[in-house]
Structure 1
């Protein structure tokens, strides 16, 4: 059991909509909520003010803002919050990626204790834009990249001969504040994705699922990591709608999809580069298993997935219900939450006022 689990603490992160994913009415574009420097900056600053520990900066090739440029630009605005910076492996060269991570870590600055940096890395096993690679070699390439980046950022000489890269390099002069590779967060449900995470990553991220499936996935990933002589922490990415009463929360969920055209929703889902992966298929299965109101189990609503590829469900309820749901996930082994809601700045403020003060939370520690 980790120190975080022993104390009952969890890391609570929010999400900045860098990839044109913010709405008042799901599926209805709003120029005021479209990804821009000003809008996404305001989401991040709302999360910082609200007390969140971390914020995910997502990455999409054709959608929204460049994640690296945004991360470097927002870093001087932040006094304490960590950044979970997403990077698409297929668009990078591992030694350059290592240098970029070290530079961002330095720009963001040290944690409160001065013991390390405030950068976390969300690894995405992506294709090159305009190309498609089957899952098995794509995840094999991601595994190689992770090993290369970790070796270089841990200050070690690299002598690597793999299927995709053959490199002989000294570590870059630019190091992270800690002198170590920052924690790597990674998600994926396919067998190849699970093996990649088990072998190289530090936090395995899950999208919304029923409690029995969460339990099953944690058990599987714990065993896979053990086969590599490793342990993992577990994170959970989910939307949230919290209001003073359950009726108000459900009414807001209904309002959110009240103008959604099903064909428009399908087009939004299929526009994503990950629209056909295992995780997306599982989110579709959840929608299919939900009741007439879109709930697949207590307080877990799948309506968001009608117009979103990827994380497609929300915890919906009053503050006590949302808190109870989060604590139930903690009891299964979840130590980190990445939350979001529509519109993102407004929902971050609501969660920060209604739920966050009741949670024992802090950045993950290693």
Structure 2
């Protein structure tokens, strides 16, 4: 169980689409580099650990590189699909980004789903993608660390030394990773630093953590654990649920039906868990989609991947965050709708009451009694 004052990481989301209702034509916002720089500036200045640059319409590496000189503190959690890029080339990209950003890169290993990967030319099935990632990560780690390669696997062959740099992180930058299947758990236990869940309830998360800790122990390893969630924060619980109601009213039943039809064909175990949280139709009352106290599944009607949100006042949201922390979560990847405005709202109403270490001054945060007292007051 985590203590109330153990340090955590909080990442914001920095990926299109966005807007007041981005699943609708009149609610979607134009997303360009100047706008993304605004969001990155908020993340950089408000005290977030960093931002997740997920798979989306923009390439995550190009986007991240474009934001290095616009930020000073923000860590870049950059998504990458192993089957789509050589591990040695990815290692070179990682070294370069790590060098130019003064060590602010983290990789988020994404295995995707079969339909998504086929569109990019990869024909590997579900479990084979994880077998491929197993080899890919081994080669990537050696290459990033500056080692000479002599790897002959089922999927990957790499010989000699192609790279001239070594990572600012030693031996390598951290690796994040998600996946709810047993194949995913096995790879996480073997290779990953932080395992991510998709907005499941605290009891479900606690069960996954128990399983992953046991698997990691068999490898003489330990893992950290994170979760991806939306936050709908307002001054009161009633106002927050009214915002959830507003979001529901912007959803087109035809858009929901099309999205749900596509998602049901996914071979992602995590995606199927998100689908199981609702009937695939828009209810009149948002509380019908409350799958756990203050945890709302409404956004999974209109978006793939993680679609649950903590809904409530700052006090309510902080209490639920604490419950996840008690289950073993130390990394939170959160977002709101729209990204820019909600980055400020969460930054002003939630972050000041969380024990987030500043990258440049972790010791001072640990000794900051005033923040500790404020945190304790806020959640009780």
After TM superposition, the score normalised by the length of structure 2 is 0.86
**Are positions 1:9 and 2:2 aligned together?**
no
Which segment drifts farther, 282-291 or 318-327?
A: 282-291
Q: CA RMSD in A?
A: 2.4
Write out per-residue CA displacement over residues 120-153 of structure 1, whole angstroms, 9 at most, x where no aligned residue.
1101124350443211111100111111111111
Question: Residue 251 of structure 1 corresponds to which residue in structure 2?
Answer: 242
Cα offset for 1:293?
2.7
- Quote the residue 1:307 is aligned against: 302
Residues 225, 363 of structure 1: alpha-carbon distance in 2 compared, 3 angstrom cutoff: farther
SS in 1 for 2:15: coil
For 2:35, the equivalent position in structure 1 comes to: 39
Q: Which residue of 2 aligns with 1:238?
A: 229
1:142–1:218: structure 2 CA closer, same or farther, 3 Å change rule?
A: same
Conservation of the 8 A alpha-carbon contact between 1:26 and 1:257 = no
Match of 2:55 among 55, 59, 76: 59
The alpha-carbon distance between structure 1 residues 179 and 219, as it changes in their structure 2 partners (threshold 3 A), is closer
* 8 Å CA contact 2:83, 2:122 repeated in 1: no
Aligned match of 1:340 = 335
Q: Cα deviations across residues 147-169 of structure 1 (Å, max 9, x unaligned)?
A: 11111112322211111012112
Local SS of the residue matching 1:83: strand
Alignment of 1:170-319 (within 5 A): 170=161, 172-268=163-259, 275-288=266-279, 293-319=288-314
CA contact (8 A) 1:75 1:107 kept: yes
Query: How far did residue 15 of structure 1 move?
Result: 0.3
Out of 159, 162, 172, which is 2:150 matched to? 159
Secondary structure of 2:277's partner? helix
What is the deviation of 1:223?
A: 0.7
Instruction: Tell me whether 92-101 or 121-130 shows the greater mean CA deviation.
Output: 121-130
In 2 relative to 1, CA 274–222 (structure 1 residues): closer, same or farther, beyond 3 Å? farther
1:363 positional shift: 6.7
Deviations 1:185-215 (CA, angstroms, capped at 9, x unpaired):
0000011111111111110000111221111
Unaligned runs of 5+ in 2: 363-380
CA 1:7/1:359 → structure 2, altered by over 3 Å: closer, same or farther?
closer
What's the CA shift string for 1:254-281, capped at 9, x where partnerless?
A: 1012121122024345667994411010
CA contact (8 A) 2:13 2:51 kept: yes
Q: 1:106 to 1:268 in 2, by over 3 A?
A: farther
- Is 1:149 aligned with 2:147? no
Q: Which residue, 351, 356, 361 being the options, matches 1:356?
A: 351
1:54 CA displacement: 1.2
Distance 2:27 2:36 in 1: 13
- Is the contact between residue 146 and residue 165 of structure 2 (CA under 8 Å) also seen in structure 1? no
- TM-score, normalised to structure 1, is 0.90
Structure 1: state its 5+ residue gaps.
110-116
Is 1:88–2:86 an aligned residue pair? no
Q: Which moved more, 1:252-261 or 1:241-250?
A: 252-261
Is the contact between residue 126 and residue 267 of structure 2 (CA under 8 Å) also seen in structure 1?
no
Task: Provide, for residues 51-74 of structure 1, a one-character-per-residue CA deviation record: whole Å limited to 9, x for no partner.
Answer: 1111000124xxx11111111110
Deviation of 1:181 after TM superposition, in Å, equals 1.2
> How many Å separate the matches in 1 of 2:303 and 2:37?
22
Q: Relative to structure 1, is the Cα distance of residues 5 and 230 closer, same or farther in structure 2, using a 3 angstrom cutoff?
A: farther
- Structure 1 position 5, deviation (Å): 6.6
Residue in structure 2 matched with residue 79 of structure 1 by the alignment:
72
Question: Which stretch shows the higher mean deviation, 259-268 or 51-60?
Answer: 259-268
Residue 120 (structure 1) aligned with residue 106 (structure 2): yes
- Between the aligned partners of 2:261 and 2:159, the Cα distance in structure 1 is 40
Match of 1:136 in 2: 127
